[in-house]
C-alpha cells in the first residue's frame, strides 16, 4: 500500500461513513496545502545555493522512509544537497552517532571536518556531539523555554536566531587563520597547544599531522579559539611551509 492510499484510509476513518466518499478529494487538497506551507523561503534557497559553492552539504532527517522522501521530493530538496540520510532507511536515527558517521562517509569527510546546524538539542546537537562533529550550531525553536535557552544541554558551539546568520558565522575564521600564521612565523607559542605534541620528526623530516587541524577546533566550547576546518584545508600548504620555517628558525 502506498503512503497516499494509507492516508486516504485514515481520512476516510476520520470522516466517518457519512463523508468517507470525500476522503480522496479532501486528502488531495490537504496534501497540496501542506506542502505549500512547507516551501522554503527565497532567502533559505539562496543561502543553500551560496553555501554549496564552497561546501558539501548533507541533510540528516528522522522519520519513516516513505514519508520523509515524499517531503524531499515534493520540496525538491535533492538539488541543494550532496547527500541525504533518512533514518527510516537505516536501523538507527539521530542522536545515534552512526547516522552522522554514515553521511560523513558518503561525503568522504571526517566527522571533525563537519559543522551541523539543527533546531533540536536532544537529536541534532546531542547527536553532533556524540559523533564528534567539529562544530555544532543550534537554532532554537520559538517555543523553547527561557531556562533551556539560557542553559542548553548539551551546549552547542554557537546559537543563532535564524539560518541566515550562518554565512556571517562561517566568515569568522578567515581573520583567525591569518593570525595563526603570523603567530607561527613570529615564533610565538600557541595558547593551550604545543607544536611538539603534534609534530613527528621521523626519517629526518617534519610531518604535520591532520590532528593539528583538529586541535585548532578545540576546545569545543571556547568560541574565541574556534577555527573552521575548511579554512585550514584551503590554506594547508601555506601553513605547512610556515611551520617548517618555524622549526628551521628555532
The angle at the Cα of 126, spanning 125 to 130, to the nearest 5 degrees, equals 115
pLDDT values of the chain reduced to their tens digit, one per residue, 250 residues? 889 999 999 999 999 999 999 999 999 999 999 999 999 999 999 999 999 988 999 999 999 999 999 999 999 999 999 999 999 999 999 999 999 999 999 999 999 889 999 999 999 999 999 999 988 999 998 888 888 888 899 999 889 999 888 888 887 655 544 554 455 445 444 433 333 333 333 333 333 332 232 223 333 333 333 344 444 444 444 555 554 555 444 4
What's the CA dihedral at 34, 162, 144, 115 to 10 degrees?
100
Amino acid at each position: 500500500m502506498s503512503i497516499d492510499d494509507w492516508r486516504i484510509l485514515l481520512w476516510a476513518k476520520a470522516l466517518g461513513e457519512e463523508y468517507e466518499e470525500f476522503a480522496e478529494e479532501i486528502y488531495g487538497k490537504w496534501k497540496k496545502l501542506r506542502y505549500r506551507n512547507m516551501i522554503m523561503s527565497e532567502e533559505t534557497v539562496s543561502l543553500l545555493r551560496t553555501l554549496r559553492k564552497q561546501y558539501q552539504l548533507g541533510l540528516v532527517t528522522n522519520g519513516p522512509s516513505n514519508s520523509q522522501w515524499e517531503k524531499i521530493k515534493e520540496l525538491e530538496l535533492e538539488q541543494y544537497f550532496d547527500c541525504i540520510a533518512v533514518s527510516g532507511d537505516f536501523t538507527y536515527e539521530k542522536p545515534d552517532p552512526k547516522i552522522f558517521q554514515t553521511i560523513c562517509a558518503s561525503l568522504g569527510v571526517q566527522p571533525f571536518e563537519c559543522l551541523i546546524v539543527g533546531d533540536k538539542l536532544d537529536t541534532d546537537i546531542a547527536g553532533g556531539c556524540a559523533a564528534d562533529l567539529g562544530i555544532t550550531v543550534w537554532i532554537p525553536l520559538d517555543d523553547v523555554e527561557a531556562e533551556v535557552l539560557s542553559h542548553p544541554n548539551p551546549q552547542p558551539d554557537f546559537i543563532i536566531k535564524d539560518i541566515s546568520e550562518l554565512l556571517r558565522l562561517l566568515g569568522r575564521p578567515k581573520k583567525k587563520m591569518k593570525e595563526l600564521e603570523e603567530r607561527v612565523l613570529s615564533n610565538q607559542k600557541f595558547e593551550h597547544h604545543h607544536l611538539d605534541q603534534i609534530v613527528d620528526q621521523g626519517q629526518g623530516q617534519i610531518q604535520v599531522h591532520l590532528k593539528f587541524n583538529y586541535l585548532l577546533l578545540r576546545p569545543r566550547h571556547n568560541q574565541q579559539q574556534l577555527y573552521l576546518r575548511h579554512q585550514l584545508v584551503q590554506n594547508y600548504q601555506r601553513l605547512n611551509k610556515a611551520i617548517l620555517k618555524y622549526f628551521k628558525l628555532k
